[in-house]
Chain A
Amino acid sequence: GEDVEQSLFLSVREGDSSVINCTYTDSSSTYLYWYKQEPGAGLQLLTYIFSNMDMKQDQRLTVLLNKKDKHLSLRIADTQTGDSAIYFCAEFYNQGGKLIFGQGTELSVKP
């Protein structure tokens, strides 16, 4: 079946690293994504990783992929108050064109 799961909340202090975790079920997914949703704004693609990679770094963002365990994580270095948002992981469902989203992790950054 199609299922993507995330923890619902994460709270960190400004300047710390944040790690948001996600598990997925479709082992044939070719792409996995992280989207950010700020209050009153649309979903914004933050970064993505192709399934034949195990790590991707993009400025303060590091994505780690463990295909064996079907586990994806997003690390945000030097977290800022402006990073407070809901973060969604999503897998590309190869049997069709849709993305399967997790429930979202609400990141709260305290000064």
Chain B
Amino acid sequence: GAGVSQSPSNKVTEKGKDVELRCDPISGHTALYWYRQRLGQGLEFLIYFQGNSAPDKSGLPSDRFSAERTGESVSTLTIQRTQQEDSAVYLCASSLASGASGRAGNEQFFGPGTRLTVL
């Protein structure tokens, strides 16, 4: 597709359940990023991938959060045993490379996000 896509667009789940969020980056983009946006707040970095390796997982809030990426394609973010504080919009972005290069350095293209509500 032309842009970054994410699914589902909305997810409502019960506390304690596991959820899986999916991101399809722009074709050819080697770097992929996950961010979280809580209501009324800025974006909080979670993890990024260069290819299918994750050099920086520093933003994952707990061991309930994990992410995988298949080659330079789809990524899934999994949240186990969800808690109410996990409620947020989860945004995925991709870029040509993870370093500062190219016209706009590290221009990241964002998907529309998945709105997660944990009841």
Interface residues of A (CB under 8 A from B): 4, 6, 30-31, 33, 35, 41-45, 48, 50, 88, 90, 92, 94, 96-104
Contact = CB atoms under 8 A, between A and B. Distances in A.
B111 A98 contact: no
Nearest to A32: B105
Given A97-B31, A100-B45, A103-B41, A45 B91 contact: no
Contacts of A101: 35, 42-44
Interface of B: 3-4, 31, 33, 35, 41-45, 48, 50, 55-56, 58-59, 91, 93, 95, 98-100, 104-113
B112 A92 contact: no
A73 to B, nearest CB: 17
The DSSP consensus for interface residues of chain A is strand
B24 to A, nearest CB: 13
A41 B112 contact: yes
A42 B110 contact: yes
A98 B42 contact: no
23 contacts: A30-B105, A31-B105, A42-B3, A42-B91, A42-B112, A42-B113, A43-B110, A44-B110, A88-B43, A90-B43, A92-B106, A96-B48, A96-B56, A97-B33, A97-B48, A97-B50, A97-B56, A97-B98, A98-B33, A99-B106, A100-B45, A102-B42, A104-B42
A6 B42 CA distance: 10
A102 B43 CA distance: 7
A41 B43 CA distance: 15
A88 B42 contact: yes
B55 A31 contact: no
A103 B39 CA distance: 10
A76 to B, nearest CB: 19
A96 B55 contact: yes
Contacts of A103: 41-42
